[in-house]
A = this chain, B = another copy of it.
Amino acid sequence: MNQQHPQKKTTIYDLAELAGTSASAVSAVLNGNWKKRRISSQLAEKITRIAEEQGYAVNMQASLLRREKSRIIGMIVPKYDNRYFGSIVETFEIMARERGLFPIITCTLRDPDLEVEAARTMLSYQVEWLISTGATDPDRITDICLAAGTRSLNLDLPGTKATSIISDNFAGARELTKRTLTNLKRKTGGMSPLLFIGGRGSDHNTAERIRGFRMAHQDLGVPIEEHHILACGYAPEKAAQALNMMATAEGSVPRGMFVNSTISLEGVMRWIQSSAQFVGAPPIIGCFDWDPFVALLGHDIEMAQQDVSGMLKAAFDVVEKDGGDRRLIEIPPIFA
């Protein structure tokens, strides 16, 4: 990475010289506040033209150093290569830009140490807000931000020390379970308890979804099989492995399933294809998450789509209102 053309970049001093004026005039013009500085429109025009000609680009480092507010907003996110998080970051960027904020995003691979490191890096860049998405330890990050006087906010997974915006996991899971049980009845004539698979028992979302799962069973008068609740982690392999163990231990796996994310669904589908259990009697699935190809290609798969733009709208509301309180905002997922 040796600078091949160590070419000095044009500065406002260069422009000032070319325009026969001062750096401060150039700065004012280029920042768009030349009317309040009452600079003549001719000078303004001249400066703008010269800047254009020179291909001038402001040095953000210098500008930010001098300014008191960075207008940078940071987000950390566990993964990119997934439709849910992908659309979160995409929407985040768009909304940030609409509000004149500069978004910076880092992906932390669900690694707690990386999360902390990423948070510190964001602070070094003087972010005004940090949004922790799906963080393994949100409160840790809030503490780090608090110590630096930076505000933060949790998305997707809640923490106790900052406002959290999450899906309404309980109500969503209850509805999804109800729908899946109903689908099962339609296909098989009866309702038997579903298998719950995927997610971490220790995380809030999974716990709430399990609660909704139980409640829906109760609503419909279906008993629960306690040993059929498998919070085995999110990774596809974990889900496949859990199904495999159950199949070996019990000889079969329930036909109706509640799958806790598309990530887990990947493992579930893989296992289903490799096992011979479901030939002629395909599983009836409810998935708490959405993917277009599953929606298109998956038969008998009901999906709860988390309302990404609703969640981010809520997040930016908090940012703009400068919400200093700690609230838990729950956004209902969307059913097709």
Chain A residues in contact with chain B, CB under 8 A?
Answer: 1-7, 9, 55, 57-62, 64-65, 68-71, 79-83, 85-87, 89-90, 93-94, 101-107, 109, 120-121, 123-126, 128-129, 144, 147-149, 151, 262, 266, 269-270, 273, 291-294, 296-298, 319-320, 322, 324
Contact B83 A319 (CB under 8 A): no
Q: Which residues does chain B contribute within 8 Å of A2, judged by CB atoms?
A: 322
Closest Cβ neighbor of A119 among chain B residues: B57
From B62, B82, B273, B324, give the contact of A296 (CB < 8 A).
Answer: B273
Closest Cβ neighbor of A143 among chain B residues: B55
Contact A107 B93 (CB under 8 A): yes
Closest Cβ neighbor of A297 among chain B residues: B297
Contact A1 B89 (CB under 8 A): no
Contact B322 A1 (CB under 8 A): yes
Closest Cβ neighbor of A104 among chain B residues: B104
Closest Cβ neighbor of A67 among chain B residues: B61
* Assembly CA distance A147 to B51 (angstroms): 13
Contact B266 A293 (CB under 8 A): yes
Closest Cβ neighbor of A298 among chain B residues: B297
Shortest Cβ gap from A230 to chain B (Å): 20
Contact B1 A319 (CB under 8 A): yes
Given contacts A69-B3, A294-B293, contact A57 B120 (CB under 8 A): yes
* Assembly CA distance A269 to B70 (angstroms): 45
Closest Cβ neighbor of A108 among chain B residues: B93
Contact A126 B61 (CB under 8 A): yes
Q: Which residues does chain B contribute within 8 Å of A9, judged by CB atoms?
A: 148-149
Count of chain copies: 2
Contact B71 A81 (CB under 8 A): no
From B105, B262, B324, give the contact of A4 (CB < 8 A).
Answer: B324
Shortest Cβ gap from A119 to chain B (Å): 10
Contact A3 B149 (CB under 8 A): yes
Closest Cβ neighbor of A89 among chain B residues: B80
* Assembly CA distance A147 to B238 (angstroms): 51
Q: Which residues does chain B contribute within 8 Å of A319, judged by CB atoms?
A: 1
* Assembly CA distance A70 to B3 (angstroms): 11
Contact B69 A80 (CB under 8 A): no
Name, among A120, A124, A126, A319, the residue most crowded by chain B CB atoms within 10 Å (CB to CB). Answer: A124
In the assembled complex, 23 residue pairs joining A and B whose CB atoms fall closer than 8 Å, in A order, are A1-B101, A1-B129, A1-B320, A1-B322, A3-B69, A4-B322, A5-B149, A9-B148, A55-B144, A59-B65, A60-B124, A61-B70, A65-B65, A80-B86, A80-B87, A80-B93, A81-B86, A93-B106, A93-B107, A104-B104, A270-B296, A293-B298, A294-B297
Q: Which residues does chain B contribute within 8 Å of A296, judged by CB atoms?
A: 266, 269-270, 273
What 7 new A-B contacts, CB under 8 Å, besides A1-B319, A57-B124?
Answer: A1-B101, A1-B322, A7-B149, A55-B144, A81-B87, A105-B105, A297-B298
Q: Which residues does chain B contribute within 8 Å of A82, judged by CB atoms?
A: 86
Contact B1 A58 (CB under 8 A): no
Contact A128 B266 (CB under 8 A): no
Complex A-B, nearest 8 residue pairs according to Cβ-Cβ distance, in ascending order: A7-B149, A81-B86, A297-B297, A293-B293, A55-B147, A5-B149, A80-B90, A81-B87
